[in-house]
Amino acid sequence: MKNAVKNGAVKPLTEIQQKIIQTASKKFAKNGFQKTSLNEIATSAKISKGTLFYHYPSKEDLFFVALSQSIDLAFKEEFEFYAKHGFKLFQKYKNLREDLKTYYDLRMAKPLLIERLWLEGVLESEHNPKLQQMLSEKDDEIVTTMTEMLKAARNQIGLLEGFSEKDIFDIARGLATFLRGTFLYKIMKKNPDSIKDMWVQTVYTIYTSKR
């Protein structure tokens, strides 16, 4: 299942699919993959199990679409954020640390459904080869999208100026891994200020490594 996001566009869902995904996302995030049944999702969504299976033939398929849509929505919001704020932040390296703090407060500080869904997917994929393959492919798409976003930031506002195409790809891959670690710290309810400081310092160090 390919990434639905391109330049901020998310593949539209039908009304019934939206209802299923919204219900499933909340159930999976709250109760976990194993403890959430398709019967429970169908009941909560007020649809028949047959209708649920028509759209999503397995629990893995449904979970992956729920997670994938959450990721795609996050990227859509990211594109919209940069369209609105991208030329106001990250204009000068001397302001980079403060700009990163502002970015974190606006985009990353609040708890996100995607954080719990991703962690649940990782835990389940350890013994679920089908889901493991799905998440692996999605992870590649995430790195590709992040690479394109970082290249756009380099070309349009000068962020990461001097970094090669390979540098930016490696940064995107590293940031994707680091972001998942940040998710874990937030779920573990570590000190929010400490998480923010860690994120800002790490990203600042990466972005200024060629200065």
The DSSP secondary structure of 70-106, one letter per residue, reads HHHHHHHHHHHHHHHHTTTSSS-GGGHHHHHHHHHHH
pLDDT for the residue numbered 2: 36
Q: Which residues on adjacent β-strands are paired with residue 6?
A: 9
End-to-end distance of the chain based on CA atoms, in angstroms?
40
pLDDT, one tens digit per residue, over 56-111 is 999 999 999 999 988 888 888 888 887 777 667 887 778 899 999 999 998 888 87
Query: From CA 179, how far away is CA 173, in angstroms rounded?
Result: 10
pLDDT of residue 117 exceeding 60, the answer is: yes
Domain boundaries, the chain: 68-207
pLDDT, one tens digit per residue, over 1-49 is 333 334 444 467 889 999 999 999 999 999 999 999 999 999 999 999 9
